[in-house]
Amino acid sequence: MASTLHGRNYEETALGPRLKPCAPHDVLTRLGDKWTILTLLLLAIVPGHRLRFSAIRNGIEGITQRMLTVTLRNLERDGFLIRHCFAEVPPRVEYELTDMGRDLLPALEGFTGWIREHWPLIIDARRAFDEAKKAGKADPA
């Protein structure tokens, strides 16, 4: 029997509820990588939501050229940004948020706001968990 919880379909089975990977999982996987949110946020704060590759690379501390290339390619593939190529010497390439990419920004703001609010609790929970493990307390699983 199929049911829905918070917009997510699941199936009730004899062994309990069963979930399948779906579109939200794929999008969250993309957003959860190390560089995607930083790239989107950098483009969000510049006028016109458009930057050259080198400006993006300079604007994200620690990102390598290869990882930025992969991140931009994935964001372009998913429709969050568009790549503009200019026939100049040297070639000039700019990346711009699409309407869908801009529509994602309020959701990111809500998500990152939740993280900021709960981060101290997450740190405390991790610390307590790690201390319990070091003390040899039984693993609840």
Specify if 12 maps to a domain: no
Q: What is the pLDDT of residue 69?
A: 97
Q: What is the pLDDT of residue 138?
A: 61
Specify if 11 maps to a domain: no
Specify if 4 maps to a domain: no
Q: Taking the complete model, does pTM exceed 0.85, yes or no? A: no
- At CA 58, angle to CA 52 and CA 59, rounded to 5? 90
**Side-chain-facing half-sphere of 33: CA atoms under 13 Å:** 16
Distance CA(79)–CA(106), nearest Å, equals: 17
Q: What is the pLDDT of residue 137?
A: 73
Specify if 5 maps to a domain: no
Contact between 28 and 35 (Cβ < 8 Å)? no
Specify if 14 maps to a domain: no
Specify if 71 maps to a domain: yes
φ and ψ of 41, to 5 deg = -65, -35
CATH of the domain at 66: 1.10.10.10
Q: How many domains does the chain have?
A: 1
Distance CA(20)–CA(94), nearest Å, equals: 37
Distance CA(116)–CA(105), nearest Å, equals: 16
Specify if 20 maps to a domain: no
Q: What is the pLDDT along the chain (141 residues), one digit of tens a residue?
A: 667 777 777 888 888 888 777 777 788 888 889 999 999 999 999 999 999 999 999 999 999 999 999 999 999 999 999 999 999 898 889 999 999 999 999 999 998 899 999 999 999 999 999 999 999 876 655
User: Which residues form the domain of 120?
Assistant: 25-137
Contact between 79 and 59 (Cβ < 8 Å)? no
Cis peptide leading into residue 21 (ω within 30°): no
Q: Which two tokens stand for residue 137?
A: 């307390």
Q: What is the pLDDT of residue 49?
A: 94
Q: Which amino acid, one-letter code, is at 125? A: A
Contact between 97 and 40 (Cβ < 8 Å)? yes
Specify if 3 maps to a domain: no
